[in-house]
Structure 1
């Protein structure tokens, strides 16, 4: 456990950020799953719509350093390839 006041504050900040980041990461992963499900069902229109939202979520996560920017780009590229395979 932290002893100094600054260490206690740092612990509070870290906990707050961890919960916040977890929510963002969860929303991002859920959106990626939705795109894959739309592709699996063969719904081209829905897949395209879900992909646009997923790309936004990936970019937001990369901007906040939750994931690396190249990882976001790679995921978007792979998802886009999937979506185009349905169309």
Structure 2
């Protein structure tokens, strides 16, 4: 347990950062799964609406990854790698 005021503050800050990191990481994982599911639908149906939907989801994934990178949740190279892989998946459709 914390013995002084600064140690208590550090515990609170660590808790806040942990929750923020968890939010960004889990949200990115969830959106990536949605994106990949949309890509599978697009491959099977060959419909332009499905591809547009996948592009919208990809845009939101990019946004969330960039915001997480700005806040220090993701390293910049990790974010670039994730975005590159997702763009490559979209290109195969």
TM range (shorter): 0.7 to 0.9
More displaced stretch, 62-71 vs 22-31: 22-31
Q: Note the C-alpha offset of 1:66.
A: 0.7
Equivalent residue for 2:59?
52
Structure 1 ranges of 4+ moved more than 4 A = none
Q: Note the C-alpha offset of 1:44.
A: 1.4
Q: In the comparison of the two structures, how many residue pairs are matched?
A: 86
Mapped partners of 1:20, 1:74: distance in 2: 21
- The TM-score normalised by the length of structure 1 is 0.88
| Structure 1, gaps ≥5 residues long | none
- The TM-score normalised by the length of structure 2 is 0.83
Mapped partners of 1:62, 1:13: distance in 2: 19
Listed as ranges, the matches of 1:20-59 within 5 Å are: 20-42=20-42, 43-59=50-66
Q: Note the C-alpha offset of 1:27.
A: 1.5
Q: Note the C-alpha offset of 1:81.
A: 1.0
